[in-house]
Amino acid sequence: MRANGIWHPRLAHLIAAAGHTDLIVIADAGLPIPAGVETIDLVWAQGEPRFLPVLRAVLAELVVERAVTEKETSDSELLSGLATALQGLETDVVGHTEFKQITARAKVIVRTGETTPYANIILQAGVPY
């Protein structure tokens, strides 16, 4: 057993196996999952787990070179949390339709129980050098 970090076995494996430019999506409970994209469904009740803690846990273990968020995101708490979590990281902002199209290329979509609209992000894996 790990002493800290992500304990979910499949999620820990996919983060460790991520290659340069692989896409990992952290999603709210309602984001459609494209056919053929692996899903790790963390949701166990409405609102649980929340999006931001899952995002912070993944960011602590994954080298990320860029992120993609949605222009429709308007919740002030979510926007503030994203700004803090993504500080210094190149971030693109796209419309929801384009965002959903990009998710078709994801290695995995991690579904949270978040019910805040547009609480979704695409993380592009980088390299540690």
Catalytic (active-site) positions: 20
C-alpha to C-alpha distance for 28 and 51, rounded to whole angstroms: 7
Query: Among candidates 42, 66, 69, which has minimal Cα distance to 54?
Result: 42
Using an 8 Å Cβ cutoff, are 8 and 42 in contact?
Answer: yes
Q: Would you state the structure tokens that stand for residue 41, as one six-digit string?
A: 């469904």
C-alpha to C-alpha distance for 29 and 9, rounded to whole angstroms: 21
Placement of tokens 């609209």 in the chain: 117
